[in-house]
Amino acid sequence: MSMNTLTDFLEQAQCQFHVYDLGRIVQKIDNSEFQAVANNQQAYPYPIQQHAFIALTFWQVAAQKEHFVWFLKMPLDEQGLMKITAQTSFIRMVVEAMGENLTADVSDKTQERLASNPFVFKPSAEKLAIFNANMNSVFVRPASSFYPAVQGYLSGSLDSDDWQTLGFQGFADVAARLDHGDNQKKIIAALPVLPEQPLQTLCLCLENQSNINHELATKIIEQAHQRLQLGQTTTAILLLRAIASANDQDLTKQLLNEQFSTALLHEADWYITIAGRCWIQLQDETLLNRYFEALATHQQALFPQLFADLVAIPSLREKVLKQLRLTARSPALSQAIGLLFSGLKQTT
């Protein structure tokens, strides 16, 4: 049997698997969707710089062994398709290192060979903590030893300034278990008194979760307003990120729309955050146009980079390209688009 794709390889090894995107946020990709991606039947949904950053966890039910994880950085072609040649090369390297039994015990030397594979990447400590928290929750495994301390901190059992001993992993565990132990209520009660650092850590963990309830999302929006009034722009941006994946997209869009009338218009990080975390909201074409208009007016130097990032996302591509054809646009946006085209001509 030929093994040209990752899913071919896993199927032949009789492994079950889950796939998570680790590029923008930590989010699960359905197995059927990933199979279509691996077979070049559809583009990779969340590209970054023409690559797919994925965590592929797999296991053999019959062998009752632990789960294994590959962190892969797979190149995409100009259409956003995962390159078959890269998948085949990766498979060949794995087979050369450890044979076709993917769940066999491996020596330190074999581990080193696998780690030096050019398609393997090392996630940031934060992404790794969030991924581990999600995995433990999905497979009904215990949370880390940091979880109780963060739960206690959010419940008010520690002074709000006693956060230095808390681990990032504990915040990730709380975010991955929003529907357990009244965690959403604990966060709602703690939000108004959290110091800057633990609040920012909590936001980075929440941005990966869709099951944020309406009450928590509303409280996050209130905090975003207050932090902005205090001139805390970095935290205001992170609070937007915190509800980027929430199921109640109307609330996220509400906050995003309101921020267009604030000092955040002058913050480069705000535009980068919207492209990197709030691309789902930009499927609203009115909001997308408002974003490009503001970007062209206040951060024109970022326009080519963020345009290229957004146009590569399959769900946004046609809507982003449509913005180029709009006749009703500001002189600033017309100039930014002109510079975009002149830059393309220089690179061809």
Tens digits of residue pLDDT in 94-151: 887 766 565 555 555 556 666 678 899 999 999 999 999 999 999 889 999 999 999 9
Half-sphere exposure of 81 toward its Cβ, with a 13 Å CA cutoff? Answer: 10
What are the beta bridge partners of residue 59? 16
pLDDT of residue 97: 74
Does residue 335 have a pLDDT over 90?
yes
| Beta carbons of 29 and 57 less than 8 angstroms apart | no
Cα–Cα separations (whole angstroms), residue 189 to 147, 181, 216: 18, 14, 10
Does residue 13 have a pLDDT over 90?
no
The mean pLDDT value for 282-286 works out to 96
Residue (of 216, 208, 282, 206) closest to 248 by Cα position: 216
Burial of 67 (0-12, 13-18, 19+ CB in 10 A): middle
